[in-house]
Amino acid sequence: MGDLDGLSAIVTGGGTGIGLAIAKRFHEEGAFVTICGRRAHVLREAVLAIHPGGERVMPFAADITAEAEVVALVERAVENAGRLDILVNCAGPMRIHKPPEETTLAEFREAIDTNIVGAFLCCREAGRVMMRQGGGRIINLSSMSGSIVNRFVHGGSYEVSKAGMNMLTKTLAVEWARHGIRVNAIAPGYYATEPNVEYFRAHPEAASQILDLIPTGKFGQLDELARLAVFLASPKVEYMTGSIVGIDGGYTAW
């Protein structure tokens, strides 16, 4: 047990990558964790990765852009754990690696709908519960791309959606401060997630170009990011709200 002993958390996008790393760490710190994603079989595998016996972890398949499914997610999490103390918005689409002039409206909307609309719906429903309880912690997984335009990568919708998530974070932090709800965001740089590892193995020249832009000279490790999430989710964090916390190896410091 640890800093989150006895607390209840929802982690969207909790079946893979950053979301799974955070869910694992929350569980290790004593939290009851509800992991959400669209694919039920991926969530089942994630439960086993978090705890082989499935103790203090529950999967819930949902599309966070569907309002009714988000309502059901929060209701089920509260029903199972008796409360909701932490929300981590980690669900997100892959970057569309196309020039803006070639990006379809559907592709643009996918990023906006997930990173802004979906995050808002999850925050709204979790916030309502947290208000009744007298407080809570919300962490939005943004990106350094919410404040910069990455080199060597086409974009548009991804950057715009993450910038919107940053402002959503600040707005809710101000609106809900009086309710004891602290809202912050994490803005990662390049991490050793499975899709990134596969891409850079297939494109070593791209990996070399990007590493040259990172002062630390390496990609981030998920465990460090997960530890930051634990800190922001902890009841010990009281005065910090509305912050966008960069963790990018110095990429944005140039």
Q: Which residues are catalytic?
A: 158
C-alpha torsion angle, residues 213, 96, 144, 186 (rounded to 10): -140
Task: Tell me if 189 sits within 8 A of 252, measured CB to CB.
Answer: yes
Residue 86's DSSP bridge partners are: 9, 137
Rounded to whole angstroms, the Cα distance separating 54 from 193 reads 24
DSSP assigned state of 115: I
Residue 46's nearest CA partner among 68, 26, 67, 69 is 26
DSSP E strands in 169-239: the ranges are 181-188
Distance CA 83, CA 8 (A): 6
Pair type for strands 181-188 and 136-141: parallel
Quickly count: other Cβ atoms within 10 Å of residue 103's Cβ. 17
Residue 34 in contact with residue 73, Cβ under 8 Å?
yes
